[in-house]
């Protein structure tokens, strides 16, 4: 496959950003021009080089360094695929594939109504794609059934942030502010593997003796900590209550801040008062002395931060758990204080922007609520449709997947930028639901496990082949630039949406394919909303302006640090939220005596659909594994390198044993990047948080045993 340079870019490569996590490391991508004299070099893969940028400071992780490999990968899809009568996916023309999908969508809508069609998006889509996907669902399809995989990522943190601060922005301050911190509490975060360049921002805290990590595992991040606490999975909320109790008992609360900038402390304290550190120790396994030490570290610092991530959020009580950490931060006077703060580390590349502009079931562009009449009227006016024509809230991500193909659920599903067969909880059940559909359509860059089940697959462009904006974990809007032309036969997601919309009788002008044109419309739709991008423009981004939303006017400098004067509630005060520990939805018992928890490894990303097609990354971590304490392994008759079978109430997965002496004896860990029988999400529990509808990915009850040995057949012997 020949990759050619985009002739509009300057010599020396296009300035863009990494396709993976929300750190959005800056890089340059360079490809050979089409008129190069050496045809072999002309076909060579592009190269990447890091750029100096505040978040990565000239660094890249292994995924970033190898990110260009996928641009020329033989795994790339370059023609639409349509499943024929014999059940085989075969190449088809774009017109054939688009006509087929549009015709089937019309038929399904005519017989079963607009909500019989559903849309599932992704937190890696650009802002433009996320915006147009939400518009396509609600205007072209008229369906309420749209959600995205970010529901599995940041939804609990977002819900907790909204109710405490009145607004959700993962980090309401620039990441570089951490350079002056002498205390950082990381809860359920492992940036040393998930976003390695982030770790350099923790140097000052570590040097001051103030880097504290809370994680059941001795992760590479925990290895660097001055203090590592290992609570039992699902007990983080109790631990937050214990640390807050310790701070209060030792007279360490910031009463002046609490009185001036918050409400609800007394009601919140009625619950915390019952969680003294010794009681918390019995529940979590974390020593009371260590709880008091954390309180002292945070309150003794000049500049302190509390940062949460998926480990503490992906629970059936994830919203309340994040609220407990926010309560601690508020009681210590950290949020909205120069040099200190509270934040949540967004995971996916556009996890922040992806949840702001309309691909979430309950939201419209600008982070507006879809059930707010004023929000509906504003967005409908931008879209040129009656406000009452917009559907209301739909099902959340797992509830949507669970309903597919049922008597009352959608009969068709369009998937953009997600691989739910690997990434969703209770994964085997999700695959069954996809099989029950009348129509499954997937737009992807490779034949992911979800795409392999589809009736129609659209090959789409990837990060370095298109322009578009992303919003980093700091809330900074970034412009990713096209560096190479896409392979012949590949179109952008915007082209796919436009092609379908026009076949569904919508005007081509309503569904533009030029990213900057789409962004201009997004700006208008977001104007006046909580996430106001109306003052952001491609011209300002091209000029290198650092624009953190909200940016409500073209002469507005942006909002790098939020809440310094007031919080986003009408009275300007933050809210303490009373929460209590209830524990995980599923606890170990004699049949399933161990906790299983899941997470990422440095070399792979999300469902692995991208990174499992990069040779260097596969060579480094070729298969799934299960971390087990040596004593736990021995009791199961397992040793290092054995193939184990891990079983929960929902299914079983196989993985190679790694004996880890630092692991809690009651815990096993599996990465979630692998497919087939290695899927960690065959095990996970779809119990949902009542507020965020986040599934409980981070804890379920399992047992572990030797995998059944392969049976040798007569033919193999002979």
Classified by CATH at the fold level, domain 594-715 comes out as Barwin-like endoglucanases (2.40.40)
What's the pLDDT tens digit per position in 302-327?
A: 999 999 999 999 999 999 999 999 99
Whether the CB-CB separation of 60 and 69 falls below 8 Å is answered with: no
Supply the pLDDT for residue 214: 98
What pLDDT score does 717 carry? 37
Residues of the chain under the 70 pLDDT cut: 1-12, 32-44, 709-718
What is 63-80 written as a DSSP string? HHHTGGGGGG-TTB--S-
CB of 27 closer than 8 Å to CB of 35: no
Distance CA 535, CA 550 (A): 8
Query: What CATH homologous superfamily does 155-344 map to?
Result: Dimethylsulfoxide Reductase, domain 2 (3.40.228.10)
The helix/strand/coil state of 481 is coil
pLDDT tens digits for 240-280? 999 999 999 999 999 999 999 999 999 999 999 999 999 99
**Sequence-separated (6 or more) residues with CB below 8 Å from residue 564:** 336, 337, 338
Task: Give the C-alpha separation, 607 to 115, whole Å.
Answer: 28
Q: What is the pLDDT of residues 379-394, one digit of tens each?
A: 999 999 999 999 999 9
The confidence score (pLDDT) of residue 598 equals 97
pLDDT tens-digit readout, 4-41: 433 333 445 789 999 999 999 999 998 865 544 444 43
Instruction: Identify whether 572 is preceded by a cis peptide bond (ω within 30 of 0).
Output: no
- Residue 423's pLDDT is 96
pLDDT of residue 349: 87
Q: Which pLDDT does position 31 carry in this prediction?
A: 80
Q: How far apart are the C-alpha atoms of 109 and 399, rounded to whole Å?
A: 21
Domain ranges, ordered by start, for the chain: 81-152+361-458, 155-344, 594-715
For the segment 320-372, what is each residue's pLDDT rounded down to a tens digit?
Answer: 999 999 999 999 999 999 999 999 998 888 999 999 999 999 999 999 999 99
Q: What residue spans of 28-150 are helical by DSSP H?
A: 39-42, 62-65, 94-112, 127-135
Domain spanning 81-152+361-458, CATH architecture: 3-Layer(aba) Sandwich (3.40)
User: Average pLDDT over the chain, rounded to whole?
Assistant: 94
Q: What is the pLDDT of residue 44?
A: 62
């Amino acid at each position: 496959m020949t990759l050619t340079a985009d002739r509009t870019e300057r010599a020396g490569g296009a300035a863009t950003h990494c396709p993976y996590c929300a750190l959005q490391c800056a890089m340059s991508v360079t490809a050979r021009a089409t008129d190069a004299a050496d045809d072999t070099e002309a076909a060579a893969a592009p190269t990447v080089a890091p750029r100096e940028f505040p978040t990565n400071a000239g660094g890249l992780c292994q995924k970033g360094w190898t990110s260009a490999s996928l641009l020329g990968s033989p795994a790339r899809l370059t023609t639409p695929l349509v499943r024929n009568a014999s059940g085989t996916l075969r190449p088809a023309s774009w017109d054939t594939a688009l006509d087929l999908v549009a015709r089937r969508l019309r038929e399904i809508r005519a017989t079963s109504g607009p909500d019989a069609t559903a849309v599932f998006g992704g937190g890696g889509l650009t802002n433009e794609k996320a915006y147009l996907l939400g518009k396509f669902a609600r205007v072209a399809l008229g369906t309420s059934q749209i959600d995205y995989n970010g529901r599995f990522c940041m939804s609990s943190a977002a819900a907790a942030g909204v109710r405490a601060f009145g607004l959700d922005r993962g980090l309401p301050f620039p990441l570089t502010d951490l350079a002056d911190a002498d205390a950082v509490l990381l809860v359920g975060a492992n940036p040393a593997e998930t976003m390695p360049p982030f770790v350099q921002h923790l140097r000052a805290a570590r040097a001051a003796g103030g880097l504290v990590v809370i994680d059941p595992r001795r992760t590479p991040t925990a290895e660097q900590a001055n203090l590592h606490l290992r609570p039992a999975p699902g007990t983080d909320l109790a631990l937050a209550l214990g640390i807050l109790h310790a701070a209060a008992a030792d007279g360490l609360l910031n009463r002046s801040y609490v009185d001036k900038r918050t409400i609800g402390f007394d009601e919140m304290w009625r619950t915390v008062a019952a969680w003294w550190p010794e009681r918390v120790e019995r529940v979590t396994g974390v020593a009371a002395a260590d709880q008091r030490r954390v309180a002292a570290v945070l309150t003794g610092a000049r500049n302190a931060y509390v940062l949460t991530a998926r480990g503490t959020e992906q629970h059936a009580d994830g919203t309340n758990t994040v609220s407990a950490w926010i309560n601690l931060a508020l009681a210590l006077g950290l949020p909205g204080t120069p040099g200190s703060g509270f934040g949540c580390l967004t995971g996916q590349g556009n996890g922040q922007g992806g949840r702001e502009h309309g691909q979430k079931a309950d939201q419209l562009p600008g982070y507006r609520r879809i059930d707010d009449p004023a929000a509906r009227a504003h967005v409908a006016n931008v879209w040129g449709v009656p406000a009452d024509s917009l559907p209301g809230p739909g099902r959340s991500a797992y509830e949507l997947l669970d309903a597919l193909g049922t008597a009352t659920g959608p009969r068709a599903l369009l998937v953009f930028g997600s691989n739910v067969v690997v990434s969703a909880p209770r994964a085997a059940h999700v695959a069954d639901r996809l099989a029950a559909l009348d129509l499954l359509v997937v737009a992807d860059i490779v034949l992911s496990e979800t795409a392999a089940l589809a009736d129609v697959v659209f090959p789409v462009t990837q990060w370095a082949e298109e322009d578009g904006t992303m919003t980093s974990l700091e809330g900074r809007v970034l412009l990713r630039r096209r560096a190479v032309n896409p392979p012949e036969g590949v179109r952008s997601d915007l082209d796919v949406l436009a092609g379908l919309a026009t076949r569904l009788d919508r005007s081509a002008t309503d569904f533009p394919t030029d990213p900057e044109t789409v962004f201009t419309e997004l700006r208008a739709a977001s104007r006046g909303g909580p996430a106001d991008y109306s003052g952001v423009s491609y011209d300002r981004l091209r000029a290198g302006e650092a624009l953190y939303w909200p940016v409500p006017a073209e002469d507005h400098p942006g909002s790098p640090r939020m809440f310094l004067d007031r919080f986003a509630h009408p009275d300007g005060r933050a809210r303490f939220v009373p929460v209590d520990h209830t524990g995980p939805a599923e606890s170990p018992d004699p049949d399933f005596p161990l906790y299983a928890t899941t997470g990422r490894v440095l070399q792979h990303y999300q469902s692995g659909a991208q990174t499992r097609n990069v040779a260097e990354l596969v060579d480094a971590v070729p298969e799934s594994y299960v971390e087990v304490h040596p004593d736990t392994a021995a009791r199961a008759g397992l040793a290092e390198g054995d193939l184990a079978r891990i079983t929960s109430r929902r299914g079983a997965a196989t993985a190679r044993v790694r004996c880890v002496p630092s692991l809690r004896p009651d815990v096993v860990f599996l990465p979630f990047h692998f497919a087939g029988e290695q899927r960690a999400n065959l095990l996970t529990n779809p119990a949902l948080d009542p507020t965020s509808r986040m599934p409980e990915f981070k804890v379920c009850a399992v047992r572990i045993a030797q995998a059944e040995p392969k049976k040798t057949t007569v033919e193999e012997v002979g």
